[in-house]
Structures are given as C-alpha cells and as structure tokens.
Amino acid sequence: MVPTSFHPPQRTLMGPGPSDVSPRVLEATARPTIGHLDPAFVRFMEELKRLLRYAFRTENPLTMPISGPGSVGMETCFVNLIEPGDTVIVCVNGVFGGRMQSIVERCGAVAVVVEDDWGRAVDPEKVERALIVHPEAKIL
C-alpha cells in the first residue's frame, strides 16, 4: 500500500537542525510561485531594492539582493572587485577564510595568506606586516 500523504507529528525541534518552521513561513511557501520576469516580481524587486538603498544609505541604482548563503555574497564581492594579477590579503582562521583564498585564486589574483589558529581572531600584527610587505594589495 502506498501512502497518499505524510503527516508528521507536531514536535518542538531543539537541535542544530532541522528546526521548527514558523507557520507564517509554511503559509508563504504554499503560495504559487512567480517567475523573475513577471511584472509583479519586477515591482516587488524594485521595492526591495529601494528599501535596501535606504537601509544601507546609498543611492547606487545597482543595489540588489542576492539569494544564497554568505559564501555567495563573499564570492560576488570578490569576482566584482578583483582582476587577474591583483594582490589580495586573505586572513585564514577557519573554513570561510580558506574559502576566500580559493575564490581569490580562482579569480586569478594572488592570495597573500595571513594564517592564525582556527576559531581565534587573526593577530592584527600579522595583518599589519602583510600590509607593509604588500602595499600593492587591493583588498584585505
């Protein structure tokens, strides 16, 4: 016999994930989707961009949301700011620093790595030394 639907019991989930989803979110996900070229979506996006410009106190017309995890935002910044051959100082003290290094190198830039123990703040003196040795660095 094939079940026609699945109705999990109500539970309070207290672990690192999965976690409880707000009823408002569940309701929103049950609504029909619209395409990115739909006039309603375009109006919504323009309003969202206006609110982002207000929140970030900018007049830049290219202000826009990017859907994805933090790594998407990080990569978006790097691919738009660096060019092949640029020097970028990257602090590596965990997974995300290593990911930054990888993105910088895939962009064709030179990654100057300032490394410290994972989970610890990077020593500012190490960063200062890297800046002195690499004054050509475009991004820290």
Question: Distance between CA 36 and CA 33 in Å, rounded?
Answer: 10
CB 65 within 8 A of CB 52: yes
CA-CA-CA-CA torsion sign (98, 91, 69, 36): negative
Per residue in 68-127, pLDDT (tens digit) is: 888 898 999 999 999 999 999 999 999 999 999 999 999 999 999 999 999 899 999 999
E strand or H helix at 133, and its extent?
Answer: helix 124-133
pTM of the model: 0.64
